[in-house]
Structure 1
Amino acid sequence: MKLLNVPVIDISPFRLGGEQEKQAVAQAVDRACRDIGFLVIRGHGISPELIEQTRSVSRDFFDLPAADKIRVARPSVDVARGYIGVDEESLARSRDPAAYGSDLNESFMIGPVDLPPADYAFAPAAGKHFAPNIWPGAPTGLGEVWRTYYRSMGSLAELLMQIFARALNLPEHYFDNKIDKHISRLRVRNYPEQRVTPEPGQIRAGAHSDYGSLTILATEDKPGGLQVCNAAGEWVDVPIVPDCFIINIGDLLARWTNDAWVSTLHRVVNPPAGAGAGSRRQSLVFFHNPNYDAAIENLVAGEAAKYPPTTSGDHLRKLYVATQNA
């Protein structure tokens, strides 16, 4: 029987235990990635204080007047940096160009905060994956907090990729040299209180799958939350567990595993009508992506490859523009 709901897995035995404990965690993670593509992790070692600092300073940014936020607007659709306003994006269009309705959230995003050597970061093949970040003048301290959070998420992603390697019967450190110059993004999404009735079919974030290797999400238990489409075709709520992260694998890792692991459709639904200010919701989202030149080829021994080889950078470039409104 496949898992039809998102499991909660304690990864501290992998961090702190021996071979037997590591293998038990890897097996549980493998089942989650095969069946539903999502898991909730506890025992991750990230400071709750850092998470709350990041939440707080991000709320302060989104509370700024619109004119201040627009000053750090995303410069173009092929540069994953800066502010994107409500109604400016449609995640559902990454799968269906004809999808109706833009998403009812606003966001701010950055990329790598520690650049690799210049001959790598600015090589022709790098494209705009190491484009400079755009920092707002206020609130004070946002840049420092976000940089710290970004680095912490990079370290957690490295640990998760080691668990994934074990789960795929690969050496534990198989992915290390493929993610040591990662092109990940930190994006905070603010889902405002809905004071106007959404258009038919319009929700906080349309049904989509993520593009990269894995996503690390810290969100809030507020009305109008995250749902996953399980193997039975049912939309199920993702549990919000205190001091835990929600993890899901993306299209790149599904492709890398020859679809042994699933990149699952998910969405963020609207709160009930009249939910008021208590329905405002904020998500800290770290999209982990391997080095732009990491080769993405079938990792499953004994199976014919379903996809031609590509690289992490080429895979991501093709998808970034698809979510933008015409």
Structure 2
Amino acid sequence: MKLLNVPVIDISSFRSGTAAQKKAVAMQVDQACRDIGFLVIDGHDISPEIIADMRKVSRAFFDLPLEEKARVARPAPDVTRGYIGMEEESVGRLRDPTATAGDLNESLMIGPVDLPPAAYAFSEAAGKHFAPNLWPASPEALRTVWSAYYREMGKLAQTLMRIFALALGLDEFYFDDKIDKHISRLRIRNYPAQASVPVPGQIRAGAHSDYGSLTILAAEDRPGGLQVCNAANEWVDVPIVPGCYIINIGDLMARWTNNTWVSTLHRVVNPPAGAGESSRRQSLVFFHNPNYDAEITCLPTCVSKDEMPRYLPITSGEYLRSAFVTTQN
């Protein structure tokens, strides 16, 4: 039967187990990615302390006055760096161009913290995917903490891509050379307590799918949370399991698999009226994106010899560049 709710999968045996144990994990992940596009993972080996440090320093940034946060405002729609204020973005617009209401969150984002060789990072083809990060002056520890967390997320994403490779019937290391200079984004979203009633149709984050290969999310169990649209066209809550990460695949992975795996619509809903400060919510989000020159074309295991791929080839960088601009007001 098709999964209609998000499963919890322990990946620890993939990291240190036998070939058979690795395959067993990969099979569970394959079903989740085919059926609902989301899973929750335990056994990821990310330190609870580094997650706590991220939450603390990020909350301190968002507590700053708006004029301080605006000093590192996003410089342009095609530059995925810096601060984006409340209602300045509509992530639902990529799927619904008529969407007008801005999302009820603010965010800060960075890109790679360790650059590849300059000839690659700053070539014409690279565009702005390796644009410099905009670091706020306060909190002083933010740059150090975020940089360390970004590196940890890169390692976890590599492990997940290796699980994906086995799940898709490929060599475990198939994706390694396609993500070794990845253009991923670390983005922390702050969902403040809502002091006024939203306009009709306005929620914390509109219904959308993510753009890249996969997303790694550390969420908080607060009123007004993440929902995913399942195969029965029902909105279901994504479970918040202590110590676990929420993983979902993005549009590029769906393209890569010829829609064998699904990039699922999801949203962040408003808290109940009167929820007050308990509804403030913060999400640590790592959007893993392949190298900008990685060709996203149908994987050999995802099409029969008599079948045509659903999509024309496109590079990771080309696809992401257009998606980033579309979501802006």
Q: TM-score normalised to the size of structure 1?
A: 0.99
Instruction: State the AA in 1 paired with 2:328.
Output: Q
Q: Can you list the C-alpha shifts for 1:177-222, whole angstroms capped at 9, x where unaligned?
A: 0000000000000000000000010000000000000000001000
Partner of 1:305: 309
Partner of 2:186: 186
Matched-pair contact (CA < 8 Å) for 1:100–1:201: no
Contact 1:214-1:250 within 8 A present in 2 as well: yes
Query: Which position in structure 1 is the counterpart of 2:252?
Result: 252
Q: Deviations over 1:267-297 (max 9, x none)?
A: 0000000000000000000000000000111
Structure 2: distance between partners of 1:16 and 1:78: 40
Is the CA contact (8 Å cut-off) linking 2:258 and 2:303 kept in structure 1? Answer: no
Alignment of 1:235-314 (within 5 A): 235-299=235-299, 300-302=302-304, 303-314=307-318
In structure 1, the residue matched to 2:91 is: 91
Name the CA distance, whole Å, in 2 between partners of 1:40 and 1:106.
25
* Cα separation, 2, equivalents of 1:301 and 1:251: 17
Normalising by structure 2, report the TM-score: 0.98
Alignment of 1:71-90 (within 5 A): 71-90=71-90
Q: Which residue number in structure 2 is paired with residue 201 of structure 1?
A: 201
- 1:96 Cα deviation (Å)? 1.0
The residue number in structure 2 matching 1:319 is 323
The alignment yields a C-alpha RMSD, in angstroms, of 0.5
| Alpha-carbon distance in structure 2 between the residues aligned to 1:323 and 1:29 | 29
Return the alpha-carbon distance in structure 1 between the equivalents of residues 71 and 22 of structure 2: 47
Structure 1 unaligned regions, length at least 5: none
Please state how far the C-alpha of 1:100 moved relative to its aligned partner.
3.3
Give 1:138 shift: 0.1
How far apart are the structure 1 equivalents of 2:153 and 2:99? 32
Q: Is the 8 A contact 1:72 1:136 kept in 2?
A: yes
Report what 1:116 is aligned to.
Answer: 116
The question of whether the paired residues in 2 share the 8 Å contact of 1:208 and 1:266 is answered with yes
Measure, in 1, the Cα distance between the counterparts of 2:116 and 2:285: 23
**Partners of 1:318 and 1:244 in 2: CA distance:** 32
**d(CA) in 1 for partners of 2:294 and 2:91?**
25
What amino acid sits opposite 2:36 in the alignment?
Answer: I
Between the aligned partners of 2:179 and 2:172, the Cα distance in structure 1 is 13
AA matched with 1:246 = I
Count of aligned pairs between the two proteins: 325
Post-superposition offset of 1:301: 3.9
Alpha-carbon distance between aligned partners in 2 of 1:309 and 1:87, rounded to the nearest angstrom: 34
| Equivalence for 2:171 | 171
Where 2:80 maps in the other structure, the secondary structure is: coil
CA contact (8 A) 1:36 1:230 kept: yes
